[in-house]
Copies of this chain bind each other. A is one copy, B any other.
């Protein structure tokens, strides 16, 4: 992908697993990219690998302001407010996106800071249970899905710029509004964390014997419980409302399964329905959204409808 000189700069705030991988992917794709990291150790590790990462937030932001860089907020939700204050002070005209795991709370913070007009939300659906610069990988987003906001206030030019960055990192783009995104990730990202933690607890309560007998199903089912607890909290807690909703739904499903197991010694209903659901997931195919030009009549509405039906953008004309 050819990037125009004017849109060639990216400033990444937070160079942990996601932000650091994004910095590496952007540089690989030909962007002029630099970053800020709160901890000197993280910034030093990035510099040692040849990347331009500073612990000086004002300096990173002033440079963004001077070059009209796209600022990517890549810190956990609890640190977003502090970033926005600094942006409002040191880079008041820069376009903004983010890679935070929830979208409505970030949009609300943008509104509070008077930055919503310059913001298009983003969320690459990629990660590992590792964290920090040492875990970064420029290929992390390759063939991943990257949610990009299509909320009412989104402006076509900025939206295009954010989508270009996502595509340049090797992802496909799902257009989605903040509230729908948050409800969806509660189901496919936050609930998996909750269930993985609960499964890990159930296994460990069986002692050395149970853990010694554990094989693939337990290993895979508990993998994301390996994520640092603070990070799990930073991911899940800002989405409490949507997570509670799907957790309640799941508790009802498990209660019903428990009753059938108790009264009939049978798991029929859960096993059949769960298998059908997994087949639906396994057989789902991405289809390409085409023919919608950013800024034209009804473009946001049409993108929303396409995203809801499983469509993705793989290029911009």
Interface residues of chain A, those whose CB is within 8 Å of chain B, are 125-128, 144-145, 147, 174, 176, 180-181, 183-185, 187-189, 191-218, 220-230, 232-233, 236-237, 240, 243-244, 246-251, 253-255, 257-258, 261-262, 265-268, 270-282, 284, 286, 307-310, 312
Contacts and interface: CB of A to CB of B under 8 A. Distances in A.
28 contacts: A125-B215, A145-B213, A176-B213, A181-B213, A184-B213, A192-B220, A193-B217, A194-B267, A194-B270, A197-B277, A201-B253, A201-B274, A204-B276, A204-B280, A204-B281, A205-B249, A211-B281, A216-B223, A221-B224, A228-B275, A233-B271, A237-B265, A240-B261, A244-B261, A247-B254, A251-B251, A251-B254, A251-B255
Q: Which 3 A-B pairs have the closest CB atoms?
A: A197-B274, A208-B310, A204-B277
Contacts of A253: 198, 201-202
A301 to B, nearest CB: 15
A200 B183 CA distance: 15
A202 B127 contact: no
A276 B307 CA distance: 38
A223 B220 contact: yes
